[in-house]
Amino acid sequence: MFDGRRAINAADYGFVQKRRRVFIFASRGDTRKSIDIDMGNPEATVHDNGFFSKEFPIDPVSSDDKIGTFNIGSEKYSSLVEVSDHFAEQFLSAGVMKDHQIYTRGVTPRFNGKRARLRDILEDDVDERFYVKALNLPKWEFMKGPKKLKRKKAGTNITYLYSEGGIPFPDNLDGPGRTMLASEGTKNRSSHIISGKDGRYRILTPVECERMNGFPDDWTNTMTERQRYFVMGNALVVGLIKKMGDSLLRLTESE
């Protein structure tokens, strides 16, 4: 049984990174948690007593167009291959499943705490190697800016128009940071560029990347610098997992 499925953006719950990931909690059908799921009132599971509801509260659903229900039982699909080939329903950002019945709905996160800011996790003394050289600024501005480029498909004479929107340059320090990727720290469109205390542009340090994911300072300092950026770009936000661990502890105690 899927007691819960949630697409959670860490920044919606006070963390310093806009990192959205899908989390699914499943329980065996003979556990109390699964038995207690009432598909006659699935909203109670999603909103009040589901795996995610206490640690990641949401506002009541506001309209029917944010709700979907459907069945993926054996009477509709004869095999998992058929499900894979023909399944075409839409999953919204939260939901619950029991006995092939699925309830899914959009959610609005509810958080009343202090909003995290990127500037709050910045280091004071930063080595010169993290600063952008003046001669490289035009390259950064081009990568970050909106553009439409005519390109040719490799090995052919076929041309096409490549376009992409702009990314803030420099990054806003008064809100959470953007999602880190494994390429963080390289001369790359997705890398964060901030305006330092002296007004010069720089990339984030490995310690600042650790802080964006909630790791202790220098958690990755046994690695090369490139590896440190890479693993932080692939990491989850620790605080989200801690909150889910608290939910799991309460659940195992009740079982």
Q: Is the pTM of this model over 0.95?
A: no
Read off the pLDDT of residues 87-109 as tens digits, 9 standing for 90 and up: 888 889 999 999 888 999 999 99
User: Where do the domains of the chain lie, and which CATH numbers do they carry?
Assistant: 2-113 (no CATH), 118-238 (3.90.120)
Q: Confidence class of residue 74 from pLDDT cuts 50, 70 and 90?
A: low
For a pLDDT cut of 70, what percent of the chain falls above it? 98
Among residues 119, 90, 121, which one has the least CA distance to residue 106?
A: 90
pLDDT of 251 reads 87
Q: Between β-strands 147-152 and 159-164, what pairing exists: parallel, antiparallel or unpaired?
A: antiparallel
With a CB cutoff of 8 Å and minimum separation 6, the contacts of 93 are 6, 7, 105, 106, 107
Is the four-CA dihedral 228, 232, 233, 234 of positive or negative sign?
positive
CB neighbour list of residue 115: distance below 8 Å, 6 or more residues apart: 14, 175, 176
The CA-atom distances, in angstroms, between 222 and each of 89, 127, 144, 164, 206 are: 46, 19, 32, 37, 12
Q: Tell me if residue 149 falls in helix, strand or coil.
A: strand
pLDDT at 48 over 70: yes
| pLDDT over 80 at 56, yes or no | yes
Q: Which of 50-64, 66-80, 209-223 has the lowest mean pLDDT?
A: 66-80
∠ CA 98-51-11, nearest 5°, is: 125
Is the Cβ–Cβ distance between 133 and 152 less than 8 Å?
no
- Return the amino acid letter for 42: P
Tens digits of residue pLDDT in 209-230: 999 999 999 999 999 999 999 9
Confidence check: pLDDT of 118 > 70: yes
Q: Report d(CA 210, CA 64) in Å as an integer.
A: 41
Question: What element of type H or E holds 141?
Answer: helix 137-144
Residue 117: CB partners within 8 Å, gap ≥ 6? 16, 173, 174, 175, 176
